[in-house]
Every structure is written in structure tokens, then in C-alpha cells.
């Protein structure tokens, strides 16, 4: 039996899920199609959000706009999906050098200062962490439990009869002037949210992705050496408590090997960095890899296909999907429904 909806969304990673929820919230009907790949960036990610770029100690792009938006969006979705996945955390940063501490203290007096705690702590978290130079703290940070979020979304979409599990077949698209159909489903638009797999999409593979593979480890510490759930440690790697004495550790950045497989090289890199932070023994429980949909100019890829306006893309969330996706899903919804222009920096029209 044929079906008619406003939008078909391809991909139920963070981008597709957040866009589907946003469109549903604004009263639109959607169908979400996903192939249930277990090794996606969204399933591997730690889901951290952090308004500070540690490398240069500057504010993350649009942080002041994105954070308040997220703080409304995710709790609303926790309510809708009857699940808990959005956690505020203290990101603690042990300093590696005196210079780093001096710069941190200087920056607390600038615009970014509202996100930097000026207090320096000399605690070692019960003997767990090497901390000779002190630790400081990023304020207004946390994480989205991405697996819990995606599982809750899938359950909700399935229950609402709007989820199809299959590999999307591009040859089944047919377009007419004001609509598009896929198999027996017709819609005003198909919105592609396939993450890095967009590089295989015949309509959007021209977009300038510069993909980055990332690997993570899940480690176990003994119960008497636990790091409080409210804390994330970050010194060359992040250590994120995920409950039951387990911690997610990451991540690597690799531009050449873009396979979905984990590697010995990635594992050794993480272990080397981890051993410089943790004083206590740990056990490796899991090793994962995913490919981030990163872009040449480090900005999202959003907008309509230049020749087929029935096709759109919502992708390129790079290393910051948790922060970017809710804000830009809302912007794309306004663009599609009310013709409010997209931010030029994210509109794929910038590559025409
Ligand atoms: C190791 C690592 C750590 C990270 N840490 C963070 C972090 O702390 N904070 C943060 O904000 N971001 C982080 N990221 C980045 C973040 O994970 C990505 O930006 C985000 O997950 C991208 O989501 P997406 O939905 O665009 O892509 P994906 O997660 O790749 O999802 C795409 C979905 O589309 C499906 N799909 C693709 N092609 C098809 C098809 N033809 N048919 C059907 N389905 C299809 C896939 O199966 C998948 O479910 C991290 C990434 C990695 C790899």
C-alpha cells in the first residue's frame, strides 16, 4: 500500500534522529530509513559537549547559541521518549605544563572566561590521577549517552510506525516537479543523513568531506578507584565514566585509514596517553572505531541539491554533532517550511 509523508529521512544516526524529532515536533510527518550498521560514528561517540576548544583555548564555534538550544531540546526529548540520556558533567583538565596553566588563568578574564573555572585544584581523585601542576574545570559541559538516545529514538519511531530498517536503494528514487518517491512512499523531500556514507550517495558524493576515523576504548577500574559519574577527565584523552566502574576513553584522529575496523595502532596510542594520566591499573573491555563526517572547512553540510530541490542533506556535523545538530535541525526545519535562509556558513550552496 502506498504512503504519503512530508519527509523521508535516510539515516538514523544522531543527525537523522535529531532532525526527525525536530520535524515531528513542528507537526510534520516523516519516515526514517536506516540500515542498522553497528559501527557508526553516532554509536561509538562519547557524546561530549564542551564549549571550549582545548588546543587553542578558544570558544567552540557558536557555543553561546548552541548551548542554550541544547539545554531545552534534549530534556524535552528525554520527556517525550521517557528515557534519560543528557548529563551535565564537570570536565576536569589536569595541566600538562606551567604555560598551559598561565594561559588558562589569563583566558578566564576574556569572553571565554564564563566557561573556565579560575580555581585550580590539586586533588588527585583518591590517588587515581597524576596531577602535579593542578587541575581546572570547564563549566557548562556534559555528554549525551548516544546509544541510549538512539535506542530510545528507534523504539519511539518504530512504535509510531515510521521506521523502516533496510539499506536505502538510490535506484528506487523517482522525482516529479514538486515531489519525490521512494518505492511506494511519496514525500515532498528526501533528506539524506547518512554520515560518512554520503560519500557513496550518487547525488551528494561531490560534497567536500574530509573524513576522520576515531577509535575509543572502554576500560574497567576497580570499584575502590572509581571516578565520580559527574566528572570527565581530559588530558590528551578524555576519560568518561559510563557507570558500573566502566569508562570510555578516546579518541584518536586518523585521516588515511578510513576502514571501520579497530587497529592496534589506535589502541596503543590511547593506552600510551591513558598511562600518562591514570596511576591505577585498568582492564580493557571494548575497542571501537567509527568514521566522523568531517568537512574541509569544518562546517556542517546542510541544504538542497542544486539541481534536484526534492533532495536535501543534513550532514557534516564533524566532531561536534551533539552541540550542532539540535540547533541546525531547527534551522533546516524553518528553511524547509518557512523559507527562512540557512546560515551561509552551513549551506551547501557555498560549494556551488
Ligand atoms: C570516536 C568518535 C568519538 C566522537 N566523539 C564525539 C563527541 O564526544 N561529541 C560529539 O558531538 N561528536 C563526537 N563524535 C562525532 C559524532 O559521532 C558524529 O558527528 C555524528 O555521530 C555523526 O552523526 P550522523 O548521524 O551524521 O552519522 P552516522 O553516525 O554515521 O549515522 C548515519 C546513519 O545512516 C545510516 N546509513 C548510512 N547509509 C545508509 C543507507 N544507504 N541506507 C540506510 N541507512 C544508511 C548508518 O547506518 C547510520 O545509522 C565522535 C565520533 C567518533 C568516531
- Substitution site in 154, 195, 298 for ligand 1 pocket (most atoms within 8 Å of beta carbon): 195
Coil/strand/helix, residue 227: coil
| Run means of pLDDT, 10 residues per run, the chain, 352 residues | 92 98 98 97 97 92 97 98 97 92 92 91 84 92 98 98 98 95 98 98 98 98 90 94 95 96 98 93 97 97 97 98 98 97 98 86
68 within domain boundaries: no
276, 306: one domain: no
67 within domain boundaries: no
- Span from the CA of 43 to the centroid of ligand 1 (angstroms): 7
CATH assignment of the domain containing 156: 3.50.50.60
- The domain boundary residue, chosen from 275, 292, 309: 292
197, 317: one domain: yes
Output the residue whose Cα is nearest ligand 1's atom 2: 45
DSSP 177: S
- The domain boundary residue, chosen from 292, 309, 325: 292
Coil/strand/helix, residue 92: strand
Whether residue 194 has its Cβ less than 6 Å from ligand 1 = yes
Structural domains in the chain (count): 2
Q: What are the pLDDT digits (tens) for 155-212?
A: 999 999 999 999 999 999 999 988 999 999 999 999 999 999 999 999 999 999 999 9
20, 38: one domain: yes
135 within domain boundaries: no
CB 69 within 8 A of CB 330: yes
Omega before 51 within 30 of 0, i.e. cis: no
DSSP 196: G
Whether residue 48 has its Cβ less than 6 Å from ligand 1 = yes
Range of the domain at 168: 3-44+148-208+297-351
216, 287: one domain: yes
Mean pLDDT of the chain: 95
The DSSP element (H or E) to which 41 belongs, if any, is: helix 41-44
22, 40: one domain: yes
* CA atoms of 58 and 61, how far apart (whole Å): 9
217, 285: one domain: yes
- Span from the CA of 312 to the centroid of ligand 1 (angstroms): 18
* pLDDT value at residue 1: 62
- The domain boundary residue, chosen from 277, 292, 307: 292
Strand partners, 167: none
192, 319: one domain: yes
187, 241: one domain: no
89 within domain boundaries: no
Integer Rg of the chain from CA:
21
Cα torsion for 212, 21, 328, 252, to the nearest 10°? -20
* CA atoms of 49 and 28, how far apart (whole Å): 28
315, 327: one domain: yes
Amino acid at each position: 500500500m502506498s504512503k504519503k509523508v512530508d519527509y523521508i529521512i535516510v539515516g538514523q544516526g544522531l543527525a537523522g534522529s535529531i532532525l526527525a524529532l525536530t520535524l515531528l515536533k513542528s507537526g510534520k510527518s516523516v519516515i526514517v530509513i536506516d540500515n542498522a550498521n553497528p559501527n557508526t560514528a553516532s554509536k561509538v561517540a562519547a557524546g561530549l559537549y564542551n564549549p571550549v576548544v582545548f588546543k587553542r583555548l578558544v570558544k567552540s564555534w557558536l557555543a553561546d547559541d548552541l548551548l542554550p538550544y541544547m539545554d531545552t531540546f534534549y530534556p524535552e526529548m528525554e520527556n517525550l521518549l521517557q528515557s534519560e540520556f543528557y548529563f551535565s558533567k564537570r570536565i576536569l583538565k589536569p595541566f600538562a605544563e606551567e604555560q598551559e596553566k598561565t594561559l588558562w588563568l589569563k583566558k578566564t578574564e576574556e569572553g571565554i572566561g564564563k566557561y573556565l573555572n579560575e580555581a585550580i585544584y590539586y586533588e588527585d581523585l583518591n590517588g587515581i590521577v597524576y596531577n602535579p601542576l593542578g587541575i581546572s574545570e570547564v563549566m557548562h559541559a556534559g555528554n549525551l549517552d548516544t546509544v541510549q538516545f538512539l535506542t530510545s529514538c528507534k523504539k519511539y519511531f518504530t512504535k509510531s510506525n515510521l521506521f523502516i530498517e533496510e539499506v536505502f536503494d538510490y535506484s528506487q528514487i523517482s522525482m516529479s516537479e514538486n515531489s519525490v518517491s521512494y518505492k511506494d512512499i511519496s514525500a515532498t523531500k528526501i533528506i539524506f543523513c547518512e554520515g560518512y556514507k554520503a560519500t557513496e550517495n550518487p547525488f551528494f558524493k561531490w560534497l567536500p568531506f574530509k573524513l576522520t576515523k576515531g577509535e575509543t576504548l572502554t576500560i574497567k577500574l576497580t570499584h575502590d578507584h572509581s571516578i565520580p559519574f559527574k566528572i570527565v577527565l581530559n588530558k590528551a584523552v578524555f576519560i568518561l565514566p559510563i557507570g558500573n566502574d566502566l569508562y570510555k576513553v578516546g579518541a584518536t584522529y586518523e585521516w588515511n585509514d578510513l576502514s571501520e575496523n579497530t587497529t592496534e595502532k589506535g589502541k596503543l596510542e590511547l593506552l600510551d596517553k591513558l598511562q600518562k594520566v591514570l596511576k591505577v591499573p585498568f582492564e580493557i573491555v571494548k575497542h571501537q572505531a567509527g568514521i566522523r563526517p568531517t568537512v574541509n572547512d569544518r562546517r556542517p553540510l546542510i541544504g538542497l541539491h542544486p539541481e534536484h530541490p526534492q533532495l536535501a542533506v543534513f550532514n557534516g556535523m564533524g566532531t561536534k554533532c551533539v552541540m550542532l545538530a539540535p540547533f541546525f535541525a531547527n534551522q533546516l526545519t524553518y528553511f524547509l517550511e518557512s523559507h527562512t535562509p540557512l546560515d551561509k556558513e552551513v549551506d551547501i550552496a557555498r560549494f556551488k
